[in-house]
Chains A and B, each alone.
Chain A
Amino acid sequence: MATAIAQPVERTNYLNNEYGVKSWLLTTDHKRIALLYLISITFFFFIGGFFALLIRLELLTPAGDLVQADTYNKLFTMHGMVMIFFFLIPSIPAVLGNFLVPMMIGAKDLAFPRINLLSWYLYIIGAAIMLHCILTGGVDTGWTFYTPFSTEYTNTKIIEAGLGIFIAGFSSILTGLNFVVTIHRMRCPGMTWSRLPLFIWAHYATSIIQILGTPVIAITLLLVVAERALHLGIFDPKLGGDPLLFQHLFWFYSHPAVYIMILPSMGVVSEIIACFARKRIFGYSFVAFSSIAIAVFGFLVWAHHMFVAGISVYAALVFSLLSYAVAVPSAVKVFNWTATLYKGSIHYDAPMLYAFGFLGLFTIGGLTGLFLASLGVDIHVHDTYFVVAHFHYIMVGGALMGYLGGMHFWWPKISGRLYPEGWARLAALIVFIGFNLTFFPQFILGYLGMPRRFYDYSHMPEFQILNVFSTAGATILGVGYLLPMIYFLWSMRYGKPAPDNPWNAAGLEWKTASPPPTFNFDEEPVVTWEAYNYDEIDTGHKQEVEVVG
């Protein structure tokens, strides 16, 4: 096949082969685009985090004393919109996925590099509109845009926020499209489906959701915008419309969207656990197919967000039953990761600490999901802090822990530098403690009946003590998030140069230079080994594989 041109002696890599702003803004290199995304989403992460901090400070005391009611409502709305649409959804796929998907399957780039760049520009256009919206007043509907409040009653900038998310949505769609085509068409010789890293399987499943779910939220937001501008009546009960139709369409995307956030994180955790336990993942095919199962079942459960919204009792029963179905593959994954540790040779490097953190927090987040899926209990805890705690355990405890773990794991590959291990372990610990302190009390608050999106709880002073814990935790969590940002930046200049494979990890991305050359590999790789061949890496020979049962 493609004969390689002899590599020059000094190592040119994707970072230093070209300089200048233009070489970045017009790049079609998936690795550079990943870095563009990294910078953009980090920016939005800190904006969203700042809003979160203000929310927690306001809730420190029962009275509404720090900000005005309207400001508070905008804070939690913008926190949600920014964190979900401009941080979590692009986080792992657009940064780590973009960087790693082609490399892990031995390709030179994604199938459509220019569309990849277009994705980033769409994200930036959407983000710019969103930012303008935030700076000129923001939105106060909650990230859910429930009608008819959003279409008829609020006087905030719904149209702008809707368009921002609409455009960013196309960025997500195109990324998913690019991944699916790349995974189908660009695998190097020998890279069969059963040899794909689980990170790839997870991204494949994520892409399915992005492709089939995101267009529905796009059209829904378009309808909201049209409804708000022209008062068509589609969602307005005064004109014969049904506000629940909006909720159906909204959650058709927004429930699977949770899996857009968590599935890639599961992929990252699979890689990390295998590497630091020095083992092949237990039940590879079950972990792989459970990703696909989650993606598909995830589309069947949306109305469990609407059990008390006024849908029919019979529909609620169906959706509740299906909701349990989606919990099964998630449980299967957790069991398999646990079993992978058995008879491993476990190292406690920072990425592994994040993976442990993920396991713990995701388990709690997933199990509390059972409470919400069960109709009887959901009536009580729906729209309370119980829900807030639950989805933060999934999306922050799960998705964000995975993202940070992945950033540490692949940082040497991305930057060519090693991060300070001691600081990283400390940060992992701080994040874990801060997170639990912030969100565990909220489960209790929720069961006691504190509704979410409450600005002022001076009539229920009994809720204060738990809120104080939560706010204290948020401060610790904030420090935990700042630390990696600082030492990653520090390491870019002062960190030790990273070897090609600092973890002795399996996977094609570790078989090329750190940082990799522009086209990833000097020679097109040919895969002759199974995924996660840690026996060969550690002992130099293939071990007799034990099949239990």
Chain B
Amino acid sequence: MSAPSDHSKSSPLTTYFTVWVALLCGTFLTYEVAKIDLGPWNAAVALTIASAKALLVALFFMHIKGAHERLLKLVVITTIAFLIILLSLSMADYATRLWS
């Protein structure tokens, strides 16, 4: 498939280990940041770190980055878009129930 083994013979191992270390640091960071009171920003920070980690896994471990066609990226983006539709339109109801 979208194998990164294309033509570049440079070893991907450096990337893999760098990403691995970054992911571990991210985990540690989430854990530690949760202990600091950031008010309403705690959840935002936690989710931002989680998304960054998920992005790293998708791009480098799942090889979205090296994918030779845009279709796979399209699948990922479409899925995220529909997830956001589900969450945001449901919340559109819950968030505005008390307005009236």
Contacts and interface: CB of A to CB of B under 8 A. Distances in A.
Interface of A: 184, 208, 212, 216, 244-245, 248-249, 252, 299-300, 302-303, 311-315, 318-319
A311 B78 CA distance: 27
A303 B82 contact: no
Main secondary structure of the interface of A (DSSP, over half): helix
20 contacts: A212-B78, A212-B82, A244-B93, A245-B90, A252-B90, A299-B85, A303-B89, A311-B97, A312-B93, A312-B94, A312-B95, A312-B99, A313-B99, A314-B92, A314-B96, A314-B100, A315-B92, A315-B93, A315-B97, A319-B89
A302 B82 CA distance: 13
A475 to B, nearest CB: 43
A45 B87 CA distance: 35
A312 B100 contact: yes
Given A184-B71, A299-B82, A248 B99 contact: no
A313 B100 contact: yes
B100 A212 contact: no
A208 B79 CA distance: 10
B86 interface: yes
Interface in B37-80: 71, 78-79
A216 B89 CA distance: 14
A131 to B, nearest CB: 32
Contact of B86 (A208, A244, A252, A312): A252
Contacts, number: 45
A311 B86 contact: no
A14 to B, nearest CB: 31
A312 B82 contact: no
Nearest to B98: A312
Nearest to A185: B71
B81 to A, nearest CB: 9
Contacts of A303: 89, 93
A5 to B, nearest CB: 30
A303 B89 CA distance: 9
Contacts of A184: 71
Contacts of B97: 311-312, 315
A312 B96 contact: yes
Contact of A314 (B78, B79, B86, B99): B99
A248 B95 CA distance: 14
A302 B88 CA distance: 13
Nearest to B71: A184
Contacts of A318: 89, 92
Interface string B3-33: 0000000000000000000000000000000
A311 B85 CA distance: 17
B96 A212 contact: no
B52 to A, nearest CB: 25
Contacts of B94: 312
B82 to A, nearest CB: 5
A302 B94 CA distance: 15
Nearest to B86: A252
A319 B89 CA distance: 9
A132 B79 CA distance: 36
Given A184-B71, A212-B79, A315 B96 contact: yes
Given A312-B97, A315-B96, A248 B90 contact: yes
